[in-house]
Amino acid sequence: MKTERWSVDKNVDSKISYPQINEAASMLINNEVVAFPTETVYGLGANAKSDDAVAKIFAAKGRPADNPLIVHISSTNELQALVAEIPEKSMKLMNAFWPGPLTLIFQKKQGAVSEYVTAGLDTVAIRMPDHPVALALISASGLPIAAPSANQSGKPSPTTADHVAKDLGGKIAGIVDGGATGVGVESTVIDCTGTTPVILRPGGVSKEEIESIINHVEIDSSLKNKEEKPKSPGMKYKHYAPVAPLFLVDGEPSWIQTLINEKRNQGLKVGVLASTENATSYDADIIRQCGSRNNLTEVAHSLYDSLRSFDEAQLDIIFSEVYPETGVGAAIMNRLEKAAGHNWIHQKK
């Protein structure tokens, strides 16, 4: 399959028709799969109403069909056709954070979207992305767009069109290149269908920000218990992982260096994912800085690009520092734990 690629200014005015946007939208209308930028990562979009279109997402990604998808819309006016009801707390969060990196779980309206989107659940996950290109594309298609991250299932999510092309070139109809994404980690997913709202996946909107709008929220227990079945799209299987095994290391840089030395003495090629503050403390085959410990937004933005870059170095093992789980740090550590398969090494105190 030939994969078309269109370059679109990321500041495109969604009220203006651009030929590239209309061409990509035509493919979506014809039930093809098109990748596009959002403010978080690149999404792999298809007509959420069509079984055939959604099936192409799963086929291109190699994603298990029991893993539900998030539906993207361009206006809150599109919500009524998709959901059975809009709880008051969901409305407050929409008013505060839409468009933006927040996905809300609703009771779905029967027949509104393909059963493949919801994996047979009676709920549907919906968000409105904060990216002019994404909004223009969705609006031009006139469709709700199902869109997981535009990468091979299990690999780090794509933050550039080149990442998408490397993973899915020849497997999808098109890629809308709107430049690098902003937030770098996916949206927060929150379920407000029950009495107490529950964060199912940490992401670009922090728990603290959410609680500033609707007071108390809980964290889904499956985020810490790897034996428990996750309830959120994109969280059921190992994810975000580079090729080489990744280990999270909770310890001082000098102690982490002893681990590096041990592996290199065994003839292994070692990579380190480090903060700006500690990067010069390490002697390894490959060292990737992903931002300052004092600026976790910066870390989130470069996390996936850093993880992807390790694959080019053909490493045997990767050690990663860990980060505070405050604000967007919760999303960073969630992604790192998934990438590492929950494999930790703790320095003895």
**Does the pLDDT of residue 235 top 60, yes or no?**
no
Q: Which residues contact 308 (CB under 8 A, 6 or more apart)?
A: 155, 156, 163, 242
Tokens of 267: 């003839």
Q: Last residue of some domain: 135, 169, 184? A: 184
CA distance to 126, 140, 300, per residue, from 256 (Å): 41, 51, 22
Residue scoring higher pLDDT (183 or 233) = 183
Q: Name the β-bridge partners of 177.
A: 7
Domain identity same for 20 and 162: yes
- Whole-number pLDDT of residue 237: 53
Q: What is the mean pLDDT of residues 116-141?
A: 96
286 shares a domain with 176: no
CA distance 211 to 207: 6
Question: Is 240 among the domain residues?
Answer: no
Mean pLDDT of 15-28: 88
Site of tokens 């999808």: 172
Q: Name which of 282, 281, 291, 288 is nearest 263 in CA terms.
A: 282
Closest by CA position to 93, among listed 211, 244, 237: 211
In tens, the pLDDT along 157-167 reads 999 999 999 99
β-bridge mates for residue 317, sequence order: 270
Q: Is the pLDDT of residue 227 over 70?
A: no
190 touches 91 (CB < 8 A): no
Q: Average pLDDT, stretch 305-321?
A: 95
Q: Residue 229 above 60 pLDDT?
A: no
Confidence at 169, pLDDT banded by 50, 70, 90: very high
Task: Say if CB 24 and CB 6 are below 8 A apart.
Answer: yes
Residue 173 and residue 295: Cα distance in Å, rounded? 37
The span from the CA of 169 to the CA of 171, in Å, is: 5
Residue 11's pLDDT band (cuts 50, 70, 90): confident
Note down the domain range covering 19: 4-91+99-184
**Residue at a domain's end among 155, 184, 213:** 184
User: What's the mean pLDDT in 85-110?
Assistant: 97
Question: What residues does 6 pair with on adjacent strands?
Answer: 176
pLDDT at 231 > cutoff 60: no
Cα gap 94→65, rounded to integer Å: 28
Asked if residue 281 lies in contact with residue 257, where contact means CB atoms within 8 angstroms, the answer is yes
Structural domains of the chain, count: 2
pLDDT at 67: 85
pLDDT of residue 263: 98
33 and 171 share one domain = yes
For tokens 């009771």, the residue is 107
The pLDDT value given to residue 232 = 56
Do 315 and 175 share a structural domain? Answer: no
Two structure tokens written together for 146: 């199902």
Q: What is the pLDDT of residue 58?
A: 95
> Residue 236's pLDDT is what?
52
Per the prediction, the chain carries an average pLDDT of 93
Answer yes or no: do 178 and 251 share one domain: no
Strand order across the beta sheet in which 286-289 lies: 286-289, 270-274, 317-320, 246-250, 344-346
Average pLDDT over residues 190-201: 95
Confidence of residue 228 (pLDDT cuts 50, 70, 90): very low
- Overall average pLDDT of the 15-21 stretch: 80
Helix (H, G, I), strand (E, B) or coil at 59: helix
Tokens 């002019």 found at: 132
pLDDT bucket at 240, cuts 50 / 70 / 90:
confident
CA neighbours closer than 13 Å in the CB half-sphere of residue 295: 10
**Residue 4, Cβ density class (10 Å: 0-12 exposed, 13-18 middle, ≥19 buried):** middle
Do 62 and 169 fall into the same domain? yes
Model pLDDT, residue 16: 64
Sorting pLDDT into bands at 50, 70 and 90, what band is 225?
low
Task: With cut-offs at 50, 70 and 90, classify the pLDDT of residue 223.
Answer: confident
**pTM of the full structure:** 0.92
Residues 252 and 180 in one domain: no
Does residue 61 contact residue 148 with C-beta atoms inside 8 Å? yes
* pLDDT tens-digit map of 52-80: 999 999 999 998 888 899 999 999 999 99
Q: In a 3-state reduction of DSSP, which class is residue 62?
A: coil
pLDDT tens-digit series, residues 249-260: 999 999 999 999
Looking at the chain, the whole-number percentage of residues with pLDDT higher than 70 is 94
Residue 211 located in a structural domain: no
Neighbours of 111 (CB within 10 A): 8
Structural domain includes residue 176 = yes
Q: What is the pLDDT of residue 148?
A: 96
For the ranges 125-134, 224-233, 309-318, the lowest mean pLDDT is seen at 224-233
